Amino acid sequence: MNERIAAVIVAAGQSTRFGAPKILTPVAGMPAILRSVRAFRAVPECAAIVLVINQSLQTDIASLLADDEPSAGVKLVPGGERRQDSVLAGLEAIGDADIVVIHDGARPLVTPQLIEATIAAVRAGSEAAVAAVPVTDTLKRDSRSGVETVDRANLWRAQTPQAFRVDRLRKALASAMERGLTVTDEAMAIEMTGGSVTLVQGDEQNIKLTTPEDARVIEALASARPERGQAIVRTGIGYDVHRLVPGRPTDELAIHQRERLRNRPIECRRLIVLIRPKRL
């Protein structure tokens, strides 16, 4: 069955906690939002990408996309007051699609592999698939009766991407709107209407850019991993010490060292041999 897959990248927030348009924050030399877009462009099955943005950033983001060849064909749509309003606007713009992947534009380290994993889970029969990671910290609940520890077994931290059957998501969000409910993610709307949700193992590095501290962590992580197809180049300084052997000519030592280096999987451009002068 040939199903059409589309993506809605939501980036219409006010960036209140960040203090500036966080999706434009450079991450290893590239604006955060372009990293999210490129990850979806690297998924061959994704036939359409809709980017839902804050209207105030229309000119800036349109210029970014125009200058970035991999982002060609991405459709810009103004967002709404709430997240669910923005997602609904994106759904209206994807055209005919069977499966849609919703993603936070402020998660710039998402990988194509994680996107594909959520799509595969929906194809396998789930109405929704959510990237998530298990809770590892000890959790505390503070209430009027005091502080208590919460059992973290079976608790997960939800991320995006989240993949859905398009018709099912539309109905779930419409139901939430009719009931005057606000959902914090799209899977919540599916849950509230009795739908099936599958958790897909997420990525601890798939951090959401919310505060300036997040930006520093994401920058470090992005700088440490190469782009697809990019070679890793590392440089450094080292030394090698060999004892001078009585009766062994220094030129023989140099030849021996040169031959040893030739057998290493490195390129030796220059061999320098330091010779201790003879005592007179």
What does the pLDDT read at residue 245?
64
Residue 202 burial (CB < 10 Å; 0-12/13-18/19+)?
buried
What does the pLDDT read at residue 15?
65
Provide the 10 A C-beta neighbour count for residue 84: 23
Tokens of 137: 């910290």
Provide the 10 A C-beta neighbour count for residue 156: 15
pLDDT band at 37 (very low <50, low <70, confident <90, very high): very high
Write the secondary structure of 221-271 as one string of H (helix), E (strand) and C (coil): HHHHCCCCCCCCCCCCCCCCCCCCCCCCCHHHHHHHHHHHHHCCCCCCCCC
Tokens of 269: 């451009």
Question: pTM for the full model?
Answer: 0.79
pLDDT in tens, 150-209: 999 999 999 999 999 999 999 999 999 999 999 999 999 999 999 999 999 999 999 999
CATH class of 5-138+148-224: alpha beta
Non-local CB neighbours of 264 within 8 Å, separated by 6+ positions = none
